[in-house]
Each structure stands twice: as C-alpha cells, then as structure tokens.
Amino acid sequence: MAGEIYKKPVLFAIVSAVVILVGTFATMFIPMMTSGMHPKLENLKPYTPLQLAGKDIYQREGCNNCHTQTVRPLRTEVMRYGEYSKAGEFAYDYPFLWGSKRTGPDLARIGKKYPDAWHVRHMEDPRKFYPRSNMPSYGWLKESAVDPDEIRNHMDALGFPYSEDDITALKGKTDLDAIVAYLQVIGTAVTKQAVAGGESVIVEAVQNPLAGDPNALVAGKDIYEENCLDCHGEDGSGDIGPSLIDTVMVKAEGDLSDAHYYVIIEKGLDEGMIIEGRAAEGGMPAFGEDLNKDEIWSVIVYIRSMQKK
C-alpha cells in the first residue's frame, strides 16, 4: 500500500515538499527564535548616538570593502589580530560589517588600541604612519557636521537607548569625531585574555649587537622618521605618544634596557602588560611584522643617540 505513492509522481512531489518544509522549519526557523541563537557578551552595550553615527559613516564610505571585522579561530590570525571573534559581540550590528577582503588590516580589535589623536591623524593622512598605504585620506570628514535629528531617527529605528542629552551632545560633532568614536568601540566587549591578569612580559638580558655602529645610527634615523616620528615627535620629545628622551619610561621613573626597548617595539604595548613591574596603558602598536631584528636594533641605536646615551 505504501508503495502506491511512488506510482503517483505529482502526489509524491507534494508530500516530499511538505516533509522537507516541515523539517526545515523544525531544524532552522524554530531554533532561530530561541535566545540561545542570539547571544550577547556580558560587556556588550548598544551603540551611543555618536558611535552609531560613526558606524553609518564607516558603512557609507565603504570601509568594510577593504577592512574585515572578524578574526578567525586560527593560530596565525589570533597571534596577529587578537582574540578570535565571538557571535555575541555582533548582537547590535544592524547590519554586521564583517567584510570579506583585507586590502587593509582587520579591525575587529582596533578599539582602544590607539589614542583618539592617532586615529584623527591617520584618517587625515594614512601615509604619515604607513608610507606604502593605499588608503584614501579622509581629512575632509572634519568639514561635515553630524546631523542630530538624523541620528535620533536611526536610534529610534534600531531601538537603541539614548537621552536628549546624548542627542544634544552631538551638536558641533563632525563625521571625523563620529568615525573615531566608532573605531574606538569595535571589539571592546571582548576581554583581552593575554593581559587580563596583568601578565608580565619576560625579557631576556641581551645586548644591542649594533650599539656604536654608525651605519646602524643612519639606518635607525630613517626607520624612526618613517615609523615613529608622528607619535613621538621629531626629536623624541613626544606628541601622540610619550617622550622618549625624559626620565620616564612606561609610566614610571627610570630607564629600561635595550632588550626591553626591543620587546616593546617588536610586540607593542597593550593595556595591562607588565614590563619590569610597570603597567602599560596601551596604545603602542607592534612593529615585529614590519621591521626585522637589525632594523629594530638600529632604531634603538638612534633613540639612544637622541637620549645622548
């Protein structure tokens, strides 16, 4: 009797379609309605009006065409960009801006990595920080003002909480202010495990093999001007970054060894890192992928020359 249905192709097709649809509904659509399919990280918060304005600008300018916002759970990616991406950190992204192409670096962990002033200058002229960058300049964003009424409508449409004071605070803010505010919040809901407990960085006691080498001094000067000048100043007295020629290093009185300088330049400084008992505030990028060992030692030779050491 059951075999009769196979002799009726139209009925068989209808029954098959119904069974597939019921199975699809039970295995896909019902689970999508459960809370477990929409996780939120504990530290995740809805965007503020200024951050949402920046997200809109980021999307408008097509930044996601060149930058991804997802770190895959692969060792090489985690080592380069930081903790791999979690579903719960995108709960308020409508739409998400994961991207699919890395013409520029991934930005999933860019939040709080650099100070605001760094982002402003980088948006104005990317080649000041990365001479070979093909990123367009976005300094013109500071000429365009954020529209508070438009952002109010966006907040209402997305159901994000805000107060009238939040909207009033947008007065006088520019598109550049907004996109910097957005960049500074990307990925901050994920705790940085590597330094969460104040992990101390182990530094081997090694001497600079290029100390006193005049060729290293010349090479180090060129490397410094290309990579360090815009943060630490032409003479090392500081600007966006701290001074390199005073008596304070990593927020504490007293100098560090060349070996410590090497590790700081190679690995950068993230918030919570401990260097010789000194807690770093972060903001120093890693140059280990861009500079080889001799180049790092050379720039240290040049820094020592600015310090008259």
| Domain coordinates in residue numbering, the chain | 49-191, 214-306
pLDDT, tens digit, 9 for 90 and up, residues 26-50: 888 777 777 666 688 888 999 999 9
Paired residues of 284 in beta bridges = 269
Q: What is the dihedral of CA 96, 101, 106, 111, to 10 degrees?
A: -30
Closest CA to 63 of 119, 131, 11: 119
Domain range 49-191, its CATH number among 1.10.1370.30, 3.20.20.390, 1.10.760.10, 3.90.1150.10: 1.10.760.10
Q: DSSP class of residue 34?
A: S
Among 83-97, 123-137, 163-177, 267-281, the least confident range: 267-281
User: Would you say 167 and 151 are in contact if contact means Cβ atoms under 8 Å apart?
Assistant: yes
CATH of domain 214-306: 1.10.760.10
- Other Cβ atoms less than 10 A from the Cβ of 177: the count is 20
Other CB atoms closer than 10 Å to residue 268's CB: what's the count?
A: 17
- Dig out the tokens for 235 from the structure: 């003479």
Q: What is the pLDDT of residues 115-161, one digit of tens each?
A: 899 999 999 999 888 888 999 999 999 999 999 999 999 999 999 99
For the question of whether the overall pTM of this predicted structure is more than 0.75, the answer is yes
In angstroms, the Cα distances linking 75 to 83, 108, 271 are 10, 16, 22
Residue with tokens 């919570």: 272
Q: Is the pLDDT at 274 greater than 60, yes or no?
A: yes
Q: What is the pLDDT of residue 130?
A: 83
